[in-house]
Amino acid sequence: MMHVLQQDLDLWEVWIEYDQFSPEIFGILYVHGEVTVDKKTSSYLTKITGAEECQLNLQLPVISTNVTSTKEVLYSEPIKNLNQYTSIRIYAGDELIGYFDDIEVMI
């Protein structure tokens, strides 16, 4: 289930693509979304270390109030097993803006 905590985040998708050809990993986790930014704000997701073992925390730069455009952001990571992450949280600065606890698996 997706819980968007801020209304200006229009589209977020979280999924795992199974990789049948790689014996070392189960697949690739993707987090894709759109954020509103100004010209000076970079638009990338970075992994925050120190989270609980089965929780992935990602951070965007602080969302500006001077919105001029929408940009796509993408995060991907190879995962070793299907249950490596049971939830994903997305932060803008220190503010929690999205929470996902249902990750679709594409085979």
CA 68 to chain centre: 22
Distances (CA, A) of 64 to 3, 22, 60: 21, 40, 11
Average pLDDT value over all residues in the chain = 83
At CA 77, angle to CA 53 and CA 45, rounded to 5? 90
Rounded mean pLDDT, 1-9: 47
pTM of the entire predicted model:
0.81
Question: What are the structure tokens assigned to 37, written together?
Answer: 């930014």
Mean pLDDT comparison of 39-48, 56-65, 93-102, highest-scoring range: 93-102
CA 60 to chain centre: 9
* Confidence check: pLDDT of 48 > 50: yes
Cα–Cα distance measured from residue 10 to residue 38, given in angstroms and rounded to the nearest whole number: 16
Q: Which pLDDT tens digit goes with each residue over 62-92?
A: 766 666 677 888 999 999 999 999 999 998 8
* Confidence check: pLDDT of 6 > 80: no
The residue behind tokens 């929470």 is 99
